[in-house]
Amino acid sequence: MTSVAVATRYPAPPVFKSADIAAKTGLLVLVLLALIVPGFGNLDGKGLIPRAIAYPLLAFAVPFIWFTWWRQRASFPWTVDFLVTFVCFSDMFGNALNLYDTVESFDNIIHFVNTGLLTAAFILLTMHRSSTLGAVLERTLAFGVSAALLWEIAEYFAFLRWSPERLGAYADTLSDMSLGALGSIIAGVWVYILWSRGRLTEVAPQLELAHQVRTAEVRPPEPRSADV
């Protein structure tokens, strides 16, 4: 008989739950203040409306997907959701403190770290923890470079095409994409190392279920005892 696989639930550390809720709350507060209070957030001419729409949607994408398709299979992936939410929150928070204009390297740090965090979240959601390093790096580069490119395209259409900064945008774009790719590679290796140490066991539920089905033992039927 074939053993029946049941999706395993992997609880996240409590710190990720608290951090995720705090980041979501902070993001919504910053978005609302930027929309209501003129000049708040230092986002004038920096794509306030696209950010106000895209960031809440992105921050609540994982809860929507989980509630719609995964809630009967696995516990909520708090770690992944926090990584995605923090990317949105950090950009709004950095603008609110005017760090982009006052700290020269802040933009570079954001591209490096946030692309890496998104890549880590994507790897955790789409790959099983038994994946090889080569497979992880392959998907890491595919997602990381694509994400960095999409971010630059979004920046251009959101505000850069009307900004005086567009004159030096080519060099900045190359720098941002390179930093994003580097951050993604480091994030992919980091996830793989933690997986190999038995950490970050939260996974996409359907991948865990599929893995259990593939590795389930096929046991031959037990011999019946002879009639006495």
Please, which pLDDT band fits residue 217 given cuts at 50, 70 and 90? very low
> For the segment 52-109, what is each residue's pLDDT rounded down to a tens digit?
999 999 999 999 999 998 888 778 889 999 999 999 999 999 999 999 989 989 999 9
pLDDT at residue 145 is higher than 60: yes
In a domain, 30, yes or no: yes
Domain that holds residue 35: 14-215
In a domain, 221, yes or no: no
223 domain-assigned: no
What region, left, alpha or beta, does residue 167 occupy, with left being phi > 0 and alpha being psi -120 to 50 degrees? alpha
d(CA 75, CA 83): 17
Q: What is the pTM of this model?
A: 0.81
- 11-66 pLDDT tens trace: 566 788 999 999 999 999 999 999 999 889 888 878 889 899 999 999 999 999 99
Q: Is residue 56 part of a domain?
A: yes
- Whether 226 maps to a domain, the answer reads no
Contact (Cβ atoms closer than 8 angstroms) between residue 62 and residue 77: yes
Q: Does residue 5 form part of some domain?
A: no
Is 4 inside any structural domain?
A: no
Is residue 46 situated within a structural domain? Answer: yes
CA contacts within 13 A on the Cβ side of 2: 8
Looking at the structure of the chain, the number of domains it has is 1
